[in-house]
Amino acid sequence: MHFENFIDHSLLKPTATDKDIIQLCTEALHYNFYGVCIHGCHIALAKNLLKDSKVRVVSVVGFPLGAMSTKAKVNEAMDYIELGTNELDMVLNIGWLRSGNYLAVQEEIRQVKEVVGNNVLKVILETCYLTDTEIITTSKIAVGAKADFVKTSTGFGSRGASFEDVVLMKKAVGNKIKIKASGGIKDAVTAKNYIDLGVARIGTSSGVAIVTNQN
């Protein structure tokens, strides 16, 4: 299986240095990963390193908690699009969702997608904090807000992705939008199992291990 076509090679640690980002992009180029997923402060560096390649630059909005204002998320998204990021992974407002403020959650996603435009917007559900019903509800909200993907996790919650989460998300979105599994995916067997469930993208810091079949 060509895992490289699915992998967002990720480095979202707050301690990431320029040297670390250079290594990340070098690996992405070598293995022809789909994209690199980085914080906004590294977009310019990554764009420069990847400018003559097909590797996409993916950045994160409202990360990792999702609890800032809608205006802050919209402005962050706008800034990163102007800097040249190709895709954005946005953390939804988990507190609003769990309060039943579904319209506010959907409107926030809609506003961010409006500034993202034709670029890809993934909505991070942070499934570790949600019930099965909330996972299904939120996935449907993301569809209604015209997002391009739903994503399981930030990697900073109490756990990462699970097969059960993805089954629920797939049940909710069908083929209307895509699914990204992220958090704790470290080997080729696990990655293949997610892809077999219908996942279109894998977010991982273990991309090299996955494509070289290491554990």
150-155: average pLDDT? 98
Which of 73, 113, 122, 151 is flagged as catalytic? 151
What pLDDT shows up at residue 174?
97
Helix or strand run (H / E) with residue 46: helix 43-50
pLDDT at residue 167 greater than cutoff 90? yes
Which of 89, 122, 148, 165 is flagged as catalytic? 89
What pLDDT shows up at residue 24?
98
Binned at pLDDT 50, 70 and 90, residue 1 comes out as confident
pLDDT at residue 121 greater than cutoff 80? yes
Concatenated DSSP letters of 68-106:
S-HHHHHHHHHHHHHHT-SEEEEE--HHHHHTT-HHHHH
Which of 73, 113, 122, 180 is flagged as catalytic? 180
Return the structure tokens found at 27: 């690996």
pLDDT at residue 132 greater than cutoff 80? yes
Per-residue buried b or exposed e for 146-158, using 16+ beta carbons within 10 Å of the residue's own CB: ebbbbbbbbbbbe
Active site residue 89: yes
What pLDDT shows up at residue 161?
97
pLDDT at residue 101 greater than cutoff 60? yes
The per-residue pLDDT of the chain, averaged, comes to: 97
180-209: average pLDDT? 97
Q: Which domains does the chain have, with CATH numbers?
A: 58-211 (3.20.20.70)
